[in-house]
Structures are given as C-alpha cells and as structure tokens.
Chains A and B, each alone.
Chain A
Amino acid sequence: MEKADFKIDTIGNYASFMKYKGETYGIPTDGNVHVQFMREDMMSDPDNMKRFEDKNGKPIAWPKTWEDDQQLMEFFNNPDGEVWGSANLRNRANGVTWWYMYFYSAGGFPFDDDMNPTLNTDAGNYAVETYLKVKDVSHPEAPGWGTPQMIPRIVGGNAFACQYWDGIIALAENPEKSKTVGKWRYGLVPGSTLSGKQIYRSVSSPLGALLINRHSPRKEQAAYWALWMGTLGNSAEIVSDRANTFHDPWHSGHMDSEVVREAYTPGGVDAVATNLQVASPPIYMTGYLEFQDALAKNLSEAYVGQISASDVLPRTEDDWNGIIRRTGKKRLQDDLASYKAVMPTVDEPT
C-alpha cells in the first residue's frame, strides 16, 4: 500500500476493520452495515399519526432509542393484516448480530482488560431484554427464519420496520423484485441512553474483503490487483450492481457516486454513510465464532423458552471462560487492542 501510495478511504473508522494488530490484511469489497428500515407510508398516514399520538402522547418520530423503536413496532404490529412490527432476525445463526447493537449502544464491552467476560452487567441484561421483547412483534416462526425467509417478507410488504443489512435497500427499491418500492425510509439505527448519554451503535457483520494468501507465489501482483479493485471506480461498479453482487457501499466516494445513489436511492446511501460512522464489529478476536455461537445458543434458547432470560448471560460467561482457558488468556489479551481499535470513535454520527 505504501509503494502504491494507496489509502483505504472509508467512512468513519471502517478502515480499521481491515486491520489486525496494526497491520492491514484486507481491501474492503463490501461495507456491510445495518441500517434502519421503516415504512414511511405507514408512518405518514394521517390516521396512524393521530392514533399513535392519542395512544402514546407524542407524535410519530424517528426512533432515537430501542424503546422508541419497540413502541413503534408494537403500534404497527398487525398480524391479522399480515404485517409484523419487526423483521429483525431471531434465528440462532443470525439473531446475535442484533444483540451487539443493543449491547454496545448501552455502553457495554464484552471483556475487561484482564480478559474476564463482562456480559452479565446492566448493559448486557438490557441487551437481552431488548432482544427478547422483539418477540412480541415478530412472526411466530421467526426463530427458524434466516435471510431467505425474511427478505421476501420485507420487500413483500409484510413488515413495518427492522434493522437490516444495507444490501436489502437495493432489493427493496428494485421495481422488478419488490412490492414496497418507494415506501421505505432509511436512516440511523436507534441507540440507548442507559449509560447516561445517547450512544448509537450499528453493526458490521460479516465483512467482505480481498485478502492475499501468504502462500501465494505472486503475492505482490495479487496485492496490486486487490488495490486496483479497491479504487473508487471499480468498487463503485461492484457495489452498484444489483444483479450480480451483494456488496454494499463503503468508500467515501460511493456516497456521492451517481451509480451507487441510483442503486441504493439517495436516502439509502445517506443512511449507509450515517451508520458506517457508528459501525461496530462482532467479537473481533481469535475464537470469534466460538464466542459468538455460545452467546447465540443461549440467546436462542431463551427466545424459544428453553431457559429463562436471567440465565442467558451467566451461562454465556461460563462458556466464554472455558473458551478463554482453551485459547489462552495471553493470546486473547494481545487481541484486545485490535478489538478496541475497531470500535467507533464517535457516539453520535455527524
């Protein structure tokens, strides 16, 4: 990168997602970040506006907190009309992605500096409670639904709101595939004031990036090719292709690019730019999948009633202590700096 005088030009702190222990390992191809989706047509309906204000004592407004979000979802939840308040995923494999947003925005961080799990805290319990409350406004089959089941319901008009991967914006605005073109409003995901201040945290997981195999016989050539693919022109073409890729905007230049704004709509692109400023990672350390699956399993068990909500975090901490023991505390402590370096540097996007 130095030789080519190349810099990864991203929104906010997103470039640090490509780094580990100070070294850059990848060139982004996909700025996967969760964006808030809300049905503007339902929110701006005069009848709905009046009923909401009568019921809740305040006008319909863009949710600033997870509590606001829940209130709106409950209001617009209409199972008889086949419109569910929430289209957030709650299956074992994916639901945990949402938990990170709740946890980080409440001021939580999964480990202390001595690599002790710090999940069973006010922030952790708040996140579990927020996660489980969404069950009231979700389809009963949500525990078994992944993106193949949920996306058709989003673009088909069977959901009021969700936080979802930004790639769905392009699909939702595609007249050939969506019944809700022009009906969505995109924006910043809600945050939390639990910590005493307003913090917004979106999540970026998983990531797509170009990495070079260390056993490659032509490492330098491959690296130059990766840099070339990461230039504004090439990457804009990739992320604006609605048919052939699922890759999303990440480069600063994408936000003003005509082709990207056409694919994602101006409102969608602005929402991506806003959320990228507060995009946070999953467990950004060695053993990430094992840590995440332990949490995901316990969350899923609570969601379907196999265990109580109060058991989720103690059990997860027990599981995590076993993982830490097996992986090695010293090794994980070395990773902690990289994890913290990836976290957003602002609490509210500008």
Chain B
Amino acid sequence: MAQVAETVIPSDRPSQRASSHRRTVTRFKWGVLGPFLLVMGAVLLPVLFVQLYFSFHSYTIYLGNWWEAEFAGVDIFRDVLTDPRFGWAIVRSLLFATGSTFGCFIIGFALALLMYRPFPGQAIYYIFFILPMLTVPIVIAYTGEMLLYQNGPINGIISSVVGYDVNTQWLTNANLALTTVMLMEIWNWTPFTFIVMMAGLASLPREPLEAAQVLGANRWRIFWEVQLPLLRPVILLALVLRFLEAMAEFPKTWSLFQGGPGSATETVPVYIFLTTWQYFDISRGAAMSYVVMVMMIFIVLGAIRILRREKRTLDRMYERGEEA
C-alpha cells in the first residue's frame, strides 16, 4: 500500500478560501469608496490647501489681493491658541455637544427599545418619530422661540402642570440660553440616534437572546447582560456621529441668539462665523477651523480605536461560540 503523505496545515495559516474572500471584500470596499474618495479629494483638498495658505498668511479682505498676503508663520495659530475667547467657545461647544449627544442617545435608545419589535401601527409611530429630523433647523429655531417666550405656551403648560406660575426666561437668561438651544437640538436630532439604534437592535443575533430566555433570564438581565454588550459598537458609533454633528451646530444658535445673551451661546461655529464673515479676518478664521478640525480628528481616532477593540472582542466571542 502506498503511503499517503500527510499534509498538515498549520491552524494559524488562512485557507485559500478565506484569503480569496478577504480579497473580494477589499475590492468591494474600494469599489464602493473609491469614487466617493475621488470626488471628496477633488472638492475638499483644494479648499483645505487654500485654508492652510490663509492660516499661515495674514489676510483680511480689505488688505488687497489674497496672493499678496504677508507670510505670518505660526503667529496666527499662536494668537488663536492663546485667545481666551476661543478657549471659552470650545468649552461651550463641548458642553453643548456632550449634553445634546447624551440627550439624543438616551431618548433615541429608549424609543428604539420600545419600537424594535413589530406591533400594529408601528410604521405610523416610526414616521412621527422621524419628523423632527426632517424639519429645517431654522424653522425649529423660530418655532421654538415663539413657544419659549416668557409668557409663551411652554411656560403656560409647565405652570398648569406644577400648579403655580412658571416664568422661565429660556431665551434671555444667560445661564439657560445654551441649555435652551441644546433642548432644541435634542428634539431635532433624537430621530438620528433612534434610527441607528433601531438598526443595531434589529441586527442582533437571536441565538444569545433565545439562550438567555431558555436559561430563565428576565427582560432586564437580557437587556443589561446580553443586548447592551452586543450593542456597544453601535452605541459608540451613534455617540461619535452625533457628537461631531453637534459640535458643528450653527443655524439654531445663530438665528436665536447671535452668540448672546452676553456671550452665553458663543460656540466655536458662531465665533468662527463672526471672525470670518463679520470681522473679515479670513486668516484667523482659517486657523481656528484647522485647530477645531485637528481636535475632531483626535476624537474620531480615539473612537475608531475603541470601535476596533469592541469589534475584536465580539469576533472572539463569536469564534468561541462557533467552536463550542
């Protein structure tokens, strides 16, 4: 009998099929992203370079032609980074973005938990919950303004609920103004978090949930110990995307407050708008924009790192499940 040579394949070397699959996925990714990246590059890169030019050259529009602007080195960046007004604008933006992100997340996730299992009339509720996101922000601002006057309907409703006169100055109290626009932002963008979390909940594998039910876990334990850990990457994605969007909020803040009362709502977008389009200090506005962009890049990189770690954890969990 001829001896058949045994070929031992090391367990850590990927199979041909797995390699082929990986190549196909990579080609698909580039096939989908490629055109988008090309367009982004063609449109965005020139703008970024011009902005970089302005950041290093002193230019305001009443100083002549932009190509004749004087080279300023890092002076403009130094001015921006030592400007207390810019620092406070960043603090306000961070407070605003953090508050509105968590507000949107808590309400959006709660609504998604109520809605993700099918029930009669679900589609109608879905449409109602989405509507705020489809409303133009400036319409939300002006409608909100009328509702939030001191003797307006909101104070009226609160007064009738609590049983005494409530005269909160939502629009003119410097300590409340940022919260007011934050509440409008939460109303406007909760549907976004709702949609993301609905998708996340719908895509959860059923086996772990069914296994937990069979083992006698109650709904709270299933949510806390099974669903929530599996949803961590989706939650992180929803938080990061919302946070980035909230940092850039401008229409509601500007149309309602123009940075006031006092400087209570002078966030980063408001200050950059004032600097670039009212003071016409193009260079300073460009430098501020770059500083904020770098800040956002670091936040996103941190989030991507956490997301990758979450993904690895989930992958290991699934591999262990398959082996079992």
Residues of A within 8 A of B (CB): 91-93, 140-145, 286-287, 289-290, 293, 297, 300-307, 323, 326-327
Q: CB < 8 Å: which of B258, B262, B279, B284 contacts A289?
A: B279
B263 touches A141 (CB 8 A): no
A143 touches B259 (CB 8 A): no
B261 touches A293 (CB 8 A): no
Of chain B, the residue at the smallest CB distance from A141 is: B172
A144 touches B263 (CB 8 A): no
Given contacts A141-B171, A286-B62, A327-B60, contact A92 B260 (CB under 8 A): yes
A293 touches B279 (CB 8 A): yes
A143 touches B260 (CB 8 A): yes
B261 touches A92 (CB 8 A): yes
A141 touches B279 (CB 8 A): no
CB distance from B261 to the nearest CB of A (A): 4
Which residues B152-177 have CB closer than 8 A to chain A?
A: 169, 171-174, 177
Most chain A beta-carbon neighbours within 10 Å: one of B150, B174, B261, B274:
B261
* B178 close to chain A: CB less than 8 A: no
Q: CA separation between A300 and B266, bound complex, in Å? A: 12
Which residues B225-261 have CB closer than 8 A to chain A?
A: 256-261
B279 touches A290 (CB 8 A): yes
CB distance from A309 to the nearest CB of B (A): 13
Which residues B139-196 have CB closer than 8 A to chain A?
A: 149-150, 169, 171-174, 177
B149 touches A141 (CB 8 A): yes
A293 touches B278 (CB 8 A): yes
CB distance from B42 to the nearest CB of A (A): 29
Q: Can you list 7 residue pairs at the A/B interface with Cβ under 8 Å?
A: A142-B172, A300-B260, A301-B262, A303-B262, A304-B260, A306-B264, A326-B281
Given contacts A290-B278, A290-B279, A304-B174, contact A144 B257 (CB under 8 A): yes
Q: CB < 8 Å: which of A92, A142, A286, A293 contacts B262?
A: A92
Q: CA separation between A55 and B60, bound complex, in Å? A: 56
What's the interface size class on B, roughly?
A: 20 to 34
Residues of B within 8 A of A (CB): 58, 60, 62, 149-150, 169, 171-174, 177, 256-264, 266, 274, 278-281, 284
Q: CA separation between A323 and B263, bound complex, in Å? A: 19
Q: CA separation between A93 and B284, bound complex, in Å? A: 22
Given contacts A290-B281, A305-B174, contact A297 B257 (CB under 8 A): no
Pick the 10 closest A-B CB pairs, nearest first.
A92-B260, A301-B262, A290-B279, A144-B172, A304-B174, A143-B261, A306-B262, A144-B171, A304-B262, A304-B261
Chain B residues whose C-beta falls within 8 Å of the C-beta of A289 in the assembled complex: 278-280
CB distance from A318 to the nearest CB of B (A): 11
Of chain A, the residue at the smallest CB distance from B150 is: A141
Of chain A, the residue at the smallest CB distance from B173 is: A304
Q: CB < 8 Å: which of A140, A323, A326, A327 contacts B169?
A: A140
Q: CA separation between A293 and B271, bound complex, in Å? A: 11
Q: CA separation between A345 and B258, bound complex, in Å? A: 35
Chain B residues whose C-beta falls within 8 Å of the C-beta of A306 in the assembled complex: 174, 262-264
Q: CA separation between A42 and B174, bound complex, in Å? A: 34
Chain A residues whose C-beta falls within 8 Å of the C-beta of B263 in the assembled complex: 297, 300-301, 306
Chain B residues whose C-beta falls within 8 Å of the C-beta of A286 in the assembled complex: 62
Chain A residues whose C-beta falls within 8 Å of the C-beta of B169 in the assembled complex: 140-141
Chain A residues whose C-beta falls within 8 Å of the C-beta of B281 in the assembled complex: 290, 326
CB distance from B112 to the nearest CB of A (A): 35
CB distance from A322 to the nearest CB of B (A): 9
Q: CA separation between A289 and B257, bound complex, in Å? A: 17
Given contacts A140-B169, A144-B172, contact A93 B260 (CB under 8 A): yes
